[in-house]
Amino acid sequence: MRHLLIIFLALAFTSVFAHADKHVNLGDRATELKDEGKSRDIHPSLAEIRKMHPEFLLHKRDKTLRQGVRTQRDSLKECVNCHSSTKNDEYVPINAPDQFCSTCHQKVGTSLDCFSCHRTTPKEGL
């Protein structure tokens, strides 16, 4: 019973969602949109996305792969385009240490399986 209490307290005080606004790197475009106050136009409910993004990605994957539904706004490609950053005029992979995706995934100890198939940087010329 004591172990469960310790685990519960650890999760309560180290929740990744408590640190969601403190990403090391939001990405170049996402930072611009946030600074301009336009991030709500892209993500109406940031709290919901932070909490539910694995389910959204799985749902989107099923619709894309099984039903052929493809939209630019909700694509993983658009997430990468917005949340990637540059260093010395080169894109840094979004799953690299201290980048947008990896910061939360490192905190909760999960892997980034998406990028074993999907691009980690935007296509050149964006």
- pLDDT averaged over every residue in the chain: 78
How much is the pTM? 0.69
CA dihedral 36, 101, 22, 6 (to 10 degrees): 150
Residue 14 has pLDDT above 60, yes or no: no
Q: What is the mean pLDDT of residues 46-62?
A: 79
pLDDT on residue 22: 56
pLDDT confidence bin for 70, thresholds 50/70/90: confident
Mean pLDDT over residues 60-67, rounded?
A: 80
Structure tokens at 120: 């980690």
Chain position carrying tokens 């949340």: 83
| Torsion over CA: 15, 49, 30, 38 (sign) | negative
* pLDDT mean over 22-27: 72
Report which of 115, 116, 98 is spatially closest to residue 107, judged by C-alpha positions: 98
* Rg of the chain in Å (alpha carbons): 16
Residues 121/86, Cβ–Cβ less than 8 Å: no
Q: How far apart are CA 19 and CA 23, in angstroms?
A: 7
Q: HSE-up of 36 (CA within 13 Å, CB side)?
A: 10
Confidence band for 85, pLDDT divided at 50, 70 and 90: very high
pLDDT (tens digit per residue) in 86-118? 999 899 999 898 888 888 888 888 888 888 888
